[in-house]
Chain A
Amino acid sequence: MRAVITVIGKDTVGILTKVSGICTEYNANVIEVTQSVLQDMFAMIMLVDISKLNKNFTELTDRMSQLGDELGLKIHTMHEEIFNTMHSV
């Protein structure tokens, strides 16, 4: 089971650290990261393994949105199944 975490918003110091810190806290293993900064807009997509989480997945999604609110960013944490289902026949 994997999930996709996307972070979009104004670039500030330490976004990657904070997001991956929460992943560690919930025992979500980071598999892949793509990140780009265009002018001052930060966009990151992170693929994480959620099969060994130490809490419910919904708690992780709540925690990430809360971090997004704190940093003034949009953070979406979504089960990868929605992307696979939507974009393949």
Chain B
Amino acid sequence: MLNVHDILETIRMIQDECLDIRTITMGVSLLDCIDSDIDKACEKVYDKITRCAQNLVRVGEDIEKEYGIPIINKRLSVTPIAIVSAACNASPVKFALTMEKAAKAVGVNLIGGYSALVQKGFSAGDERLIRSIPEALASTTCVCSSVNIGSTKTGINLDACKLMGGIVRECAERTVDDKCFGAAKLVVFCNAVDDNPFMAGAFHGVGETDCIINVGVSGPGVVRSALSKYPDADITQISDIIKKTAYKITRVGQLVGVTASKRLGVPFGIVDLSLAPTPAVGDSVAHILEEIGLESCGACGTTATLALLNDAVKKGGVMACSRIGGLSGAFIPVSEDAGMIDAAVCGSLSIEKLEAMTAVCSVGLDMIVVPGDTPADVISGLIADEAAIGMVNSKTTAVRVIPAIGMKEGEFLDWGGLFGKGPVMNINKYSPSKFINRGGQIPAPLHSLKN
């Protein structure tokens, strides 16, 4: 039964509090496109992507109009290209160019899956793909890349950590004329998930069905606004308010996912129960933490409030949809969140505090700009630290840092749009070189032995 209060609440959430569906991401398996002839393989990849996704954007736009809910992004994720390209004895960059061409043809804004899974070592094609990432990202605009270098089950591949520190730097160096944007399209994961709808880390896992629809919801502004109506609530009540709000947000994700799946004739995968900020005013995760009672995000108490927020979002969302997956939780990117940017600029938020926050948020160190002279080994050390948090806590963690070539602390890299702008943040420059250069595998923790 409809009532006026509910109708007006929904409209206010969408119109004034930035409620939206952040992404409908179609996952497409490319396993049937493998061919030792790279040109043939690329042709099959192009045909498969354009066939599966030909109606994705139109269906997304129709749903947007019919339900009156903005769907910000329509995206694609594919099988990790290291697997698809393993049989070809050639540079996999051709696959990136093919992905770009296919993405443009169907009208999506990003395509993920230029990826390799090397948590326990490099197999055929993995190292070749990783070394080609800087060239692939510099020669395309909408292709995203990710590399999984560790997991709770396998431990951490330190050789891959070492390699990725250099690759992140090279991605930034190769795109210096484009504000080092290459590095913003590359994520280094520990415990990467197969059904993540969010970029830049989305890829279509090998255990997934042939083609699938996953949905990522958003709505930090709605949560903050709900909390602002209860300035004197105790912290248990705060958790309940977040749960109720997350339920409503996630229900919309479920509705959109089911509708899109039906219209596209593709199975519905998961809803990612997420709070994903944007640089827009009123769409910030940091501002939720401040609404709970911090003077500025990054203050002592930030980790505790974020842990509560992350947990309540999941508890509220879990009842609202049939299947949950992806990264599910509160994202804490710096450049994409107005409150995080302010906190970093005023000195309240440091990389060290962000690292602590990643133990309790949905993913990891995200969209952080570091000084241009940060050595590759330091980035490798940061990746290893972050992977260790993920490995030990059995959660997904990631590093997406952008070395701002030629810039120093206090300056800004400004990409505009959803990627926002990031202040160059101070990073500890004492060298971890000896540790990183030891190479080998950090063994899996004791609690990985669950069988």
B74 to chain A, nearest CB (A): 16
Q: Is B252 an interface residue (CB 8 A)?
A: yes
Are A80 and B2 in contact, CB atoms less than 8 angstroms apart? yes
Beyond A85-B255, A87-B248, whether A78 also contacts B67 by CB under 8 A is: yes
Give the residue name and chain of the B residue nearest to A74 (CB): B15
Partner of B2, one of A47, A61, A74: A47
Are A45 and B6 in contact, CB atoms less than 8 angstroms apart? no
Q: Is B391 an interface residue (CB 8 A)?
A: no
Give the residue name and chain of the A residue nearest to B249 (CB): A86
Partner of B6, one of A8, A77, A79, A87: A87
| Total count of chain B residues near the partner, CB < 8 A | 21
Q: Which of A19-66 contact B (CB under 8 A)?
A: 34, 45, 47, 57-58, 61-62
A10 to chain B, nearest CB (A): 16
Counting chain B CB atoms within 10 Å of each CB, the highest count among A57, A76, A87 belongs to A87
Counting chain A CB atoms within 10 Å of each CB, the highest count among B7, B8, B62 belongs to B7
Q: Is B426 an interface residue (CB 8 A)?
A: no
Tell me which residues across on chain B come within 8 A of A57, comparing CB atoms. Answer: 65-66
Tier of interface size on chain A: 20 to 34
Are A81 and B255 in contact, CB atoms less than 8 angstroms apart? yes
Q: Is B449 an interface residue (CB 8 A)?
A: no
Q: Is B350 an interface residue (CB 8 A)?
A: no
Q: Is B11 an interface residue (CB 8 A)?
A: yes
B219 to chain A, nearest CB (A): 11
Q: Is B251 an interface residue (CB 8 A)?
A: yes
Q: Which of B173-201 contact A (CB under 8 A)?
A: none
Beyond A82-B255, A83-B10, A87-B248, whether A4 also contacts B2 by CB under 8 A is: yes
Q: Which of B1-25 contact A (CB under 8 A)?
A: 2, 4, 6-11, 15
Are B6 and A83 in contact, CB atoms less than 8 angstroms apart? yes
Beyond A61-B65, A61-B66, A89-B319, whether A76 also contacts B4 by CB under 8 A is: no
Q: Is B254 an interface residue (CB 8 A)?
A: yes
Beyond A6-B11, A45-B7, A77-B68, whether A84 also contacts B2 by CB under 8 A is: yes
Q: Which of B37-78 contact A (CB under 8 A)?
A: 62, 65-69
Rounded to whole angstroms, the CA-CA distance of A50 and B333 in the bound complex is 42
B9 to chain A, nearest CB (A): 8
Counting chain A CB atoms within 10 Å of each CB, the highest count among B15, B62, B66 belongs to B66
Rounded to whole angstroms, the CA-CA distance of A47 and B67 in the bound complex is 14
Tell me which residues across on chain A come within 8 A of B319, comparing CB atoms. Answer: 89
Counting chain B CB atoms within 10 Å of each CB, the highest count among A58, A74, A83, A84 belongs to A83
Q: Top 8 closest A-B pairs, CB basis? A: A78-B68, A87-B6, A58-B65, A82-B67, A85-B255, A61-B65, A85-B251, A79-B66
A selection of 8 A-B contacts at a CB cut-off of 8 Å is: A6-B8, A45-B8, A61-B68, A81-B255, A83-B7, A85-B255, A86-B248, A87-B248
